[in-house]
Structure 1
Amino acid sequence: MPMTRSARTLRLWLALACLFLAASGFAWKPPSPPEPATCGSLEACVTEMRAFVAAKDPREVKHWDAAKVLVARVLTFDGAQARLVALLADPDRRMADLASTGLVEGPAVDPRFLPQLVAGLDRNLYNLPIALGTIHTDEAARHLVRYYMASNAHSGGSAAVGVGRAGERAVPFIVEATRNARCCDHADADRLVGLVDEMGETAAGAAPGLVVIAQDPSSSDVLAADAIEVLAGLARHANAMAPQLVALREQRPAIADAIDFALVEIGAPSGEIFSRRLRDNPDQREWLLREIARAGAVARAVGPDLVPLLADADPEIRLLAATAIGSIGYTQGADALVPLLDDPRDVKLNWAAADALGRLRATQAIPPLERIAATHWYPDIRALAQRAIAAIRTGAPMDSDTGWAGGYDALGFDDRCGDSDVRVAEPGRRDKLRSGRDDAALKKLGYVATIVGYGAAEGTEPVDGVIHVTEQNMVRNEEHVAEVPRVALRVDGGWLVGGDRGEWGGELLFISDDGVKQAIYDDNIQGLGRIGDRIVAAGGIAHMTLNDGTLLDVRRGSDGRWQAIAWRGLPGAPWDLLRVDADTSLVRTQSGDVLVDADGTMRLAPCLKKKVAQ
């Protein structure tokens, strides 16, 4: 669903829905809890179980609560565990599934039932691996890891939960499974990575054995890389292996990339690794900068390579570089951050610079931070500058959360005004078409858009009830849809049109009067207009934790083709761009309404009325 309405508008729709329901006499009620089971004996409960599975599939989520209520009653009787174990071999697969649920809900399974549970694994009973994980023997752990591998299970499923319950007993068998991993697509290693990551510190004992596999001269490069990949899944729990990995890198240069990745994941000093990656993989800079920020202080040696990126042409690279400098504590980068505090190109860059300077305890930045705290046009930046000053002076930690994408994605997300006190003067239909006002005319400018997605190949079998998308089964899918633009702006020789499909993407096109189309920009476009002599497009997305917005300078190049270049970063995702006068436009965003002048100056629009908190 396109995420173009403001949070205020969404709340309005919810309020209207509630009013409708109240007026219609409808009152939503939570689902009633399952009726308690009343069977009076163990065999009577077994009979009730048969009646249950005749009507309901215990694997379906909607029946889980009722199934648990029933087996809880079964477990109140003497001999219940033995009876449930016997039912694992019942000809009715659903009955056996329900019995496995009962074993999970009950006490730890008696080890004498190990053969029956192992036999039940061949039936792929949904909860049985979890029950088997309560048998705390090496033999049970061996069977659990074997089943996890043989069933192509993934982390998060019942097989992984069962191995997790086996705990440290499973570790030798995880190492063995790594050594026996199938060549050569890394699928087994990928699934073992997910398993040890889910187990956390419990699986840390696998680290030495995994390194031994990689060191073994008889191990192929593929197997050695697999072992290192699984080791990386242990993250900081394998940190002690760093010296061996550094030595191994010299011995096995063919797996140097895998070793570098593992060194980063286990928290070893990684600045040189990141410097090399930034140099060798320019197309991966965004991902690498996020990884550098995540690595923190152990990546500090990459700092000199980050400072030049603060002047990069790509606004996202500038933003991520500033965040990374603060996250790794590269104090020598502070002077380069100061000019970014009031860089007019991007308010989020202002935020990232202030946050980084606070984290760096950059005393030389206090005067410019004081100026920003007093004069910046956006309230969140003023407040952050004050917090940065306090952190520098007191040594207290910054309370801003950079997270995966940076705390700047939460700028002003609660909207600044209920309504802005701004009078707009939108062009007429000959010059601009808007969704809701000019739908018929926009429909005539419709085009075919391509939605690209990735998923599991057709025919992929579910494991643990889930179809897992992996590197091995992933395929590219294209869907061609008829798109009616959201907005259109008249230009010489045709129309600029903007499409917005929310998380499914959008585009900016030029459609000439004779029907020829030129793709200009590949992302959602919510608004088009003129500010001074500049044609501007407002684009971005608000979806889940994303709150991105950009103003694009749209113009014809010397070759006559249209192009769109980032001009100004917005505090949040836009949902409209409206003309105020020839030199000013109002951009409505998820993070407040912003007035933008022809020279690029931005300021918050005055509020007609403060929004009332809900």
Structure 2
Amino acid sequence: MIPPLAPTFDAALRDVRAQQARFRAAAAERLSDPPADQRDEAVQGLLALAEDPDGAVRATAFESLGILEAQQGASLLREAFEDEHAAARQAAVLALGRVAPEQGIDAIAGLIDDPRPEMRFSAVWTLSTLGASHANAIAAALQDEDPEVRLLAAQCLGDLGASDQADAIARLLDDDSDEVRFGAGAALAALDDSRGAPTLRAALSRVDRAFPAAIGLGDLEDQQSRIELMRLAKHRWRSPIVRAAAARALVRLGEPEGTEVIRKLVRSWRIEARQYAVELVGELGLTSLVPDLARAFRRSRKAERPVYETTLEQLAPDSPEAKALLASIRASDHPR
């Protein structure tokens, strides 16, 4: 079945009462982005859809109420923690975190002990979006019986920079789940803790793990992984994104070959590889590659321009060439 085209805002308001659930779901999604002077109408429509008989429609309505930060929906979202539809329950948790982060925090944190694993998962994710002040509550989930919840808790603590939880995360390096062990190693690397480095080194040969492993080992500036990172960066048949991540690590290790790999990827015909390589030039301060950026920019697409501008802004304080190229790009945007 072909999905309906996104309705106009006025059509979405009408479709709140549409007979077919797919049109009501499309309306719920469209109402998340109302004209400034029709926000109240959007919220009222979403409140109606939040009580729709179809679970998928309710889930979308909850998401949209969260996007609009519609405090009128706070009590309804709290009640929806008991919705019979799993996706709707999870959407309600995330939405309450946006709609009423202060009033709803106790209810959200209380889900860490909920018997339903998907609700514990949603609680951890929502708490992470509310900031590092909730790290202790998230850390409780490191001991959850569900491996996906343990994994998410470790990842969130790493992203939040919760260094005081490093010991608790490190205990997961002996977890029964291979996925959790790897996630713990990556999270520790994000905290500049090298205890997970052996786990990350072992993952460099895995297609599905090589990228985050290379990023983590680069952040740790792990000398023991130098040879394997060199092999990965130069591997012709590996993903260029993975090769770029390995090259990033090599640059951080002071290895000139890393810069040369990034230079080649800046010229790549693959847009995703080229854009990531351009980003790395800025992140790593590779001013020697400004001429390569200039050549790549001349054949780039217009949509790529912000990536080049951001990188050149990073390089400009230390590179007159980067500063001049940035000025030239911006002048071409605003010709006299």
What are the residue-to-residue correspondences of 1:194-233 with 2, within 5 Å? 195-196=125-126, 200-202=128-130, 204-214=132-142, 222-223=145-146, 226-233=149-156
| Equivalence for 2:168 | 245
Match 2:211 to one of 277, 282, 290: 290
Q: Per-residue displacement from partner, 1:134-184 (whole Å, max 9, x unpaired)?
A: 2698x777534444xx521269956632443131443443343333344xx
CA contact (8 A) 1:327 1:359 kept: no
| Equivalence for 1:176 | 110
| Equivalence for 1:348 | 268
CA contact (8 A) 1:290 1:324 kept: yes
Cα 1:242–1:393, aligned 2, differ >3 Å: closer, same or farther? same
| Equivalence for 2:296 | 380
Q: Per-residue displacement from partner, 1:344-378 (whole Å, max 9, x unpaired)?
A: x9953997989867765579xx6xx79xx5xx9x9
Matching of residue 269 in structure 1 with residue 192 in structure 2: yes
| Equivalence for 2:318 | 394
Q: Which amino acid aligns with 2:101?
A: G
Cα 1:315–1:141, aligned 2, differ >3 Å: closer, same or farther? same
| Equivalence for 2:71 | 134
Q: Distance in 2 between matches of 1:321 and 1:242?
A: 31
Match 2:101 to one of 167, 182, 187: 167
Cα 1:362–1:180, aligned 2, differ >3 Å: closer, same or farther? closer
What are the residue-to-residue correspondences of 1:341-490 with 2, within 5 Å? 348=268, 360=284, 379-380=295-296, 391=315, 394=318
| Equivalence for 1:59 | 24
Q: Which amino acid aligns with 1:380?
A: A
Q: Which amino acid aligns with 2:138?
A: L
CA contact (8 A) 2:185 2:199 kept: no
* SS of alignment partner, residue 221 of structure 2: helix
CA contact (8 A) 1:292 1:328 kept: no
Q: Per-residue displacement from partner, 1:194-246 (whole Å, max 9, x unpaired)?
A: x52xx75426444312323545xxx6xx3476245245246522524432324
Deviation at 1:258, TM superposition (A): 1.8
CA contact (8 A) 2:113 2:120 kept: no
Number of aligned residue pairs: give it.
285
Q: Distance in 1 between matches of 2:259 and 2:161?
A: 38
CA contact (8 A) 2:70 2:99 kept: yes
Q: Distance in 2 between matches of 1:342 and 1:153?
A: 44
| Equivalence for 1:90 | none
| Equivalence for 1:143 | 79
| Equivalence for 2:326 | none
Q: Distance in 2 between matches of 1:142 and 1:225?
A: 24
| Equivalence for 1:94 | none
Q: Which amino acid aligns with 2:140?
A: V
Q: Distance in 1 between matches of 2:76 and 2:230?
A: 54
Q: Distance in 1 between matches of 2:205 and 2:322?
A: 31
Q: Which has the higher contact order (CA 8 A, sep 6+)?
A: 1
Cα 1:243–1:55, aligned 2, differ >3 Å: closer, same or farther? closer
Cα 1:54–1:166, aligned 2, differ >3 Å: closer, same or farther? closer
Cα 1:201–1:240, aligned 2, differ >3 Å: closer, same or farther? farther
Q: Per-residue displacement from partner, 1:411-469 (whole Å, max 9, x unpaired)?
A: xxxxxxxxxxxxxxxxxxxxxxxxxxxxxxxxxxxxxxxxxxxxxxxxxxxxxxxxxxx
Cα 1:164–1:391, aligned 2, differ >3 Å: closer, same or farther? closer
CA contact (8 A) 1:271 1:299 kept: yes
Tell me which protein shows more helix as a share of its residues. 2
CA contact (8 A) 1:293 1:327 kept: yes
Identity of aligned residues (%): 10
Give the unaligned 5+ runs of structure 2.
1-6, 301-310, 324-336
| Equivalence for 1:574 | none
| Equivalence for 1:438 | none
* SS of alignment partner, residue 348 of structure 1: coil
CA contact (8 A) 1:200 1:237 kept: yes
Q: Per-residue displacement from partner, 1:253-296 (whole Å, max 9, x unpaired)?
A: 43575254146358322666355334256232xx4343256559
* SS of alignment partner, residue 316 of structure 1: coil
CA contact (8 A) 1:171 1:205 kept: no
Q: Distance in 2 between matches of 1:74 and 1:341?
A: 50
Q: Which amino acid aligns with 2:243?
A: A
Cα 1:276–1:145, aligned 2, differ >3 Å: closer, same or farther? same
Match 1:300 to one of 221, 238, 259: 221
Give the unaligned 5+ runs of structure 1.
1-30, 38-48, 76-97, 106-116, 400-614
CA contact (8 A) 2:182 2:199 kept: no
CA contact (8 A) 2:101 2:130 kept: yes
Q: Distance in 2 between matches of 1:136 and 1:56?
A: 24
Q: Distance in 2 between matches of 1:397 and 1:271?
A: 37
Q: Per-residue displacement from partner, 1:557-583 (whole Å, max 9, x unpaired)?
A: xxxxxxxxxxxxxxxxxxxxxxxxxxx
CA RMSD of aligned residues (A): 5.9
Q: Distance in 1 between matches of 2:316 and 2:70?
A: 51
Q: Per-residue displacement from partner, 1:50-107 (whole Å, max 9, x unpaired)?
A: x994888772536967xx89xx7998xxxxxxxxxxxxxxxxxxxxxx99527589xx
Larger radius of gyration: 1
